[in-house]
Amino acid sequence: MLPPRLTLPRRHAMAAVVVGSLALGACESDRGLRPPVESPTTAPLPDAEVVTSARESILLMVATLERAGAEHPGLAVQIGPWLEMHAAHLAVLGADGSDDGVVAPVPPAKAAAARRRVLAAERRLAADLGDAAGRASSGDLARALASMSAAVHQRVVA
């Protein structure tokens, strides 16, 4: 007789994959996450461009969430966990989370429409992070970006 099969909720399985990927990446090397110091005469490394693009996308999403939450206080509670997740992603990418110069779009007047727009923007961010993972030269960076994409997508679906 076979022992009963353990079932693992999808969220726990995804979390294990994300944590495992990040832990493996941290054990191997963090070269892909921190580009080497460059002299002013060298061209930017391809992964540095990927990281910069990912940071900009996340910073725009943070500004969008903050503005939607300010305009619609009822959404602020729902937006809080997303902001925490994006702050964690920015920390992995080496950004301090400041969004100086990022201008968020004006949210719709109705909270329901603003929520739909935020969800659409989060879906675009998940796609952008997935695309960035495909462009990354470093396996560590690709895994981190893919994990971020999965986390954003999971939060949107949940």
- The predicted model scores a pTM of 0.69
Say what the pLDDT of residue 27 is.
Answer: 45
The pLDDT assigned to 9 comes to 53
CATH architecture classification, 48-157: Up-down Bundle (1.20)
Model confidence pLDDT, tens digit, residues 74-121? 999 899 999 999 999 999 998 655 656 788 888 889 999 999 999 999
CA distance 13 to 9: 6
Whose tokens are 């004006």? That residue is 106
Q: In whole angstroms, what is the distance from residue 156 CA to residue 158 CA? A: 6
Identify the band that residue 5 occupies on the pLDDT scale cut at 50, 70 and 90: very low
Cα(157)–Cα(105) distance, integer angstroms: 23
12 against 133, higher pLDDT: 133
pLDDT recorded at residue 100: 63
Write down the residue that tokens 């007789």 correspond to: 1
> What does the pLDDT read at residue 158?
59
| Residue matched to tokens 């969800």 | 119
Residue that has been written with the tokens 């990418």 in this structure: 93
Domain boundaries, the chain: 48-157
Whole-number average pLDDT of the chain: 79
